[in-house]
A and B are shown apart, each in its own frame.
Chain A
Amino acid sequence: MKLSVDERWDIIDKISKETVKFGEYRHTLKDALAEITVKPLTGIPIAIAVLYGFWSFFGAFAGFFTDGFLVKLFDGHWLPWLQDVFPGGLGNWFYSIMVDAGHMESGVLVAADNCFESFGVLTSGLFVAIGVVLPAIIAFYLFLIILEDSGYLPRLAVLIDTVFHKIGLHGFAVVPMILSLGCNVPAVTATRNLETKKQRFMMMTLLAIFIPCGAQLGIMLDVIPEYVGFVMLYLFLGFFVFGFILNELIPGKSPEMILDVPPYHMPTGRNVGRKLWARLRGFFTVAIPFVLLGVVFVNVLYLVGVIDWLANVFEPVLVGWFGVPKETTAPLVAAFMRKDLAVGQLMGIQEQLGMVAFNTYQLVTSVVLVSLYFPCIATVAMIIKEGMQDRGKGVITFLLGSLAVLMAVVFIWGGLLHLIWIILGVA
């Protein structure tokens, strides 16, 4: 049976009369709150307050577990116990890899007295992964999930849509960007919510270079707490400067965004718990093995002399262009496995060398370099996977393009920081 247009409209009228209630809709307080969070004049101060809450919660929660209990546990009990019972002793190669590589003081090899300096798989490796990064990751994801489930995150996307349009992206880019502050790996997958190949290439490249993950943030908060704000500002500035340049250079479209914003609602404990566990499971299965492998990898390179050789080869670039000591080479190698591990190593090296050889500004530059320098191996694997899905055989061009941007960024943005220190007279 075929219905005419009029007959169809009659049926629609009949159904709507039975199902739809007609009347005057009155704005509720919830609606009005939803409106003011997306209007720039009121929305930006609210966003600042929310991000302040995010950052304060992150610092207090991670600090409570790390500084309050876990540093004491690892430095005061775990490290001395391992140093006592682990076979081999200082100077033995297996002991160096697993427990404590030791360091030279007046020509004598001495044992480390904290887990940042020991560089062992069971000491530094476990301390970085569980003692520093795990509390930071829990704090980050807990707050992020509450923002997601309450309905604030899509409003933040709408609010900063205009800013992202300046660099050829749109408000949805805030989702991979914020996810990236937790872990770059799911963030690369989240770039699928961007429409064009140009946007996905830009976002993957920019977040892999400029956005530090939660693990790295956690350890930065422990190593250089008073400079984390500056480092973040410098990286975010780089994100937008290079985003603007890439938008001008790369051909392709940047379409407008149409977004259905859900109403605000109270997050449920059950949902928050489930999502938190799902994300933490990823950390336990992917990140922790990479941290431990990273320590083994760097320790083996140290033992066979590769790190020293690389440090000598790259010394002119590291010292001359970036203004950091050649000892930064080992953390840069470790950064390929895990960036949090690399920042932890920087702290250990600074404690060993002392402030004269490795001052605060050099430490800040090194942390920035670790962030800008090659993304961790898990992120690279995900970029290749997403690139292949996006471009098939064109993945090589995609990767070479990303690599070229990366090299340019490291040299320009890293060198610029050195120049800033020179102008300020501290380098």
Chain B
Amino acid sequence: MNNESKYNIGRIYFAIFGLIVLAFGAAELLLGVTGRSFEWGLLEMSGEFLLWQGIILFSAGAFYLSSFKNFSDIHQQAKVVMASAMIWIVAGMQIFGMILESIPGGEDGGWFNTAEGFLETYAGPYIPELFLLPFSLVVIYYIRLNRQK
């Protein structure tokens, strides 16, 4: 497959992904402004930073969509990279917080958490950024492709 085809696939992939990111961002923004929360299965949108998460996710979605035209251009690629990095920041901090939360034993427990309590910390529900994280990693392929170019 030549580079042009690869970039065409990337353009379509990130356009669809951008729409999904934008939709989640808009939902988080709306819930953040109205002070409400939403939970559906393993998906959760709540917490004190919801508004900020919404702003970040909405902007990331807008970055993905704005890179649709001239997708192979380096400036457009930079937007896709930055949009993915924004998702990584929110999701990464969520994972970091989970890891740190899972170690201590809590107010009434011992110094360290029990095996059960440790695993419970990682049980859902999760914020949308965690679901979007693996799909945003596709950008690494395009960073490598750019380097080869």
Contacts and interface: CB of A to CB of B under 8 A. Distances in A.
A50 B89 CA distance: 7
Given A29-B146, A56-B93, A63-B100, A36 B74 contact: no
B126 interface: no
Contact of A32 (B49, B52, B74, B93): B74
A163 to B, nearest CB: 18
B74 A72 contact: no
A31 B73 CA distance: 13
Contacts of B85: 49
Interface stretch (B4-12, B34-42, B76-84): B76-84
Contact of A52 (B75, B78, B90, B96): B90
Contact of A60 (B48, B78, B93, B107): B93
Contacts of A32: 74-75, 77-78
Interface stretch (B53-61, B115-123, B130-138): B53-61
B56 A36 contact: no
Contact of A57 (B52, B62, B93, B103): B93
Contacts of A46: 59, 82, 86
Nearest to A36: B78
A48 B55 CA distance: 8
A69 interface: yes
Contact of B49 (A29, A56, A69): A56
A83 to B, nearest CB: 21
A68 B79 contact: no
B52 A48 contact: yes
Given A33-B82, A57-B96, A52 B52 contact: yes
B103 A68 contact: yes
Contacts of A72: 107, 111
A31 B74 CA distance: 9
Contacts of B111: 69, 72
B43 interface: no
Contact of A69 (B75, B82, B89, B104): B104
A61 interface: yes
B100 A68 contact: yes
Contacts of A45: 55-56, 59-60, 62-63, 86
B124 interface: no
Contacts of A31: 74
Contacts of A48: 52, 55-56, 59
A49 B78 contact: no
Contacts, number: 91
Contact of B100 (A42, A60, A226): A60
A24 B15 CA distance: 32
Contacts of B31: none
B74 A28 contact: yes
B78 A56 contact: no
B147 to A, nearest CB: 8
A42 B60 CA distance: 10
A48 B77 CA distance: 20
A29 B90 contact: no
Nearest to A31: B74
A68 B89 contact: no
Contact of B78 (A29, A50, A63, A64): A29
Contacts of B82: 33, 36-37, 42, 46
A303 to B, nearest CB: 33
A29 B81 contact: yes
A53 interface: yes
A80 to B, nearest CB: 16
Contacts of A59: 97
Nearest to B108: A72
A37 B74 CA distance: 14
Contacts of A56: 49, 93-94, 96-97
Given A45-B59, A49-B56, A68-B104, A60 B75 contact: no
A56 B104 CA distance: 18
A35 interface: yes
B143 interface: yes
A42 B79 contact: yes
A27 interface: yes
Interface in A59-108: 59-61, 63-64, 67-69, 72
Interface of A: 27-29, 31-33, 35-37, 42, 45-46, 48-50, 52-53, 55-57, 59-61, 63-64, 67-69, 72, 226, 229
Pairs of residues from A and B, 10 with the lowest C-beta to C-beta distance, nearest first: A68-B104, A45-B59, A32-B78, A56-B93, A64-B100, A60-B97, A49-B86, A53-B89, A49-B56, A32-B74
Given A52-B49, A56-B93, A68-B100, 15 more contacts: A29-B81, A29-B143, A35-B75, A35-B78, A36-B82, A42-B63, A42-B79, A45-B55, A45-B56, A49-B60, A49-B86, A52-B52, A53-B92, A60-B100, A69-B111
Interface of B: 48-49, 52-53, 55-56, 59-60, 62-63, 74-75, 77-79, 81-82, 85-86, 89-90, 92-94, 96-97, 100-101, 103-104, 107, 111, 143, 146-147
